[in-house]
Chains A and B, each alone.
Chain A
Amino acid sequence: MNKDKNETQNAEGRMKNSAENIHPSSFIVHHSPHPSLLKATFAIVRKDLAAEFRSFELVSAMLVFSLLVIIIFNFALELDIKVREAANAGILWTTFAFAGTLGLNRSMSVEKDRGCMDGLLLAPVDRSAIYFGKALSNLAFMIVVEAIVIPVYSMLYNVNLFRLDLLAVILLGSIGYAAVGTLLAAMSVQTRMREVLLPILLFPVAIPVLLAAVKCSSGLLAGDAFSEILTPFNLLLVYDVIFIAIAFMTFDFVVEE
């Protein structure tokens, strides 16, 4: 307690001095009043990654959760070699989807709980910078988790998941999921049910992206040529484009008052 008090008194002394020393003219700040969309977006991503790099709270929670889901699947489905070959893609995407909601919820609550969302909204930047910034950070968290889960899964079940086409599918699937998820998480944190509501809102509208991704992944894992999975792959692309566009257009309505 005492130490605390000394601390604040010292600070007070310093503060008084500095307040007197600063001449009003030194307050001219050079700034372009409106940073570009790109700069503001990356400022948000950078902030989220820096905070996460310090605590690893979000990624480690997602990761442990993912591994638990995989273990539960292993016993629940009695994954012998035959079942597994058909189920690999489904298990992976279920895991990513569940872990994804965990991350989406957390990343939005951080903004909501301490009023930081207001801080973002007060900045003279376009609202879409906030959407894109949060969506990119959420995507980054998902990718980090996937980058750890995929090799672990490959090792546990002796299946090679490191293929460029499969990784492209995983990336596209994650993009669509994060795009809708960010919009819906921004909505659900503002409701009374908060975290509970996100999966209920998200899963029914994210089913197309999840199923298309499963279809692509299982095709690729079964050794199909890329041309054979072209239809679900195109649907994946279509979903990504449409839902990024819609989320971009409606995000304003979700954060304004």
Chain B
Amino acid sequence: MKENIFDDLYKALINYDEVLVKNLAIESIKEGIDPIETISVLRKGISEIGDKFQKGEAWLPDLMLAAKTMEIGMGPLQNEIEAKGIKRSSLGKVVIGTVFGDLHSIGKGMVSTLISANGFEVVDLGINVDSKKFIDAIQKYNPDILAMSALLTTTAPEMERVIKAVNEAGIRNKIKIMVGGGSITQEFAERIGADGYEPTAVLAVSLAKKFLNIN
């Protein structure tokens, strides 16, 4: 029974069948299957889409739909984990947001979704986030990584201000900082004192893993 559910769940995920994924997640709970084990099946599906993407056989809408499908399946599984008090490990914690003055959410959303789908815990602060909000979130959630996004050349300098605030708050050595967005370059990232930059959401996931020495 478990094998059948897992087999169907895997196929439903890679076909982006949100309804079926949710139904199968619920069925797995009813059958008493460990939700952590069920989540690993969903992760396997996400990995396959990720591999296809790297080979040029899948595109961003595939990745995003797969991640959204997984998120829908995760709903009941997450409830079950909390109800049973099961301890769920994550690869690490990421606080993410689009910087002040910038209302663009898509790139940040892609990174947030893919990082989450890959097993990180994500605290998404949304858009138009000023340095105070970033600092408050770092102090509240104690993340491993701070990720900032800016699409506009006019808002990119805001990242430097956040990093300066992180330095002044005395918490710079507790976190790794990654930056990204349409107007960001490697040179800019280095100039403002970020620890890393990647041009795409998929590579941002690899960078997050690299920061935390995860293979």
The judgment on whether A and B are partners is no
Q: What is A's interface to B at a CB cutoff of 8 Å?
A: none
Q: What is B's interface to A at a CB cutoff of 8 Å?
A: none
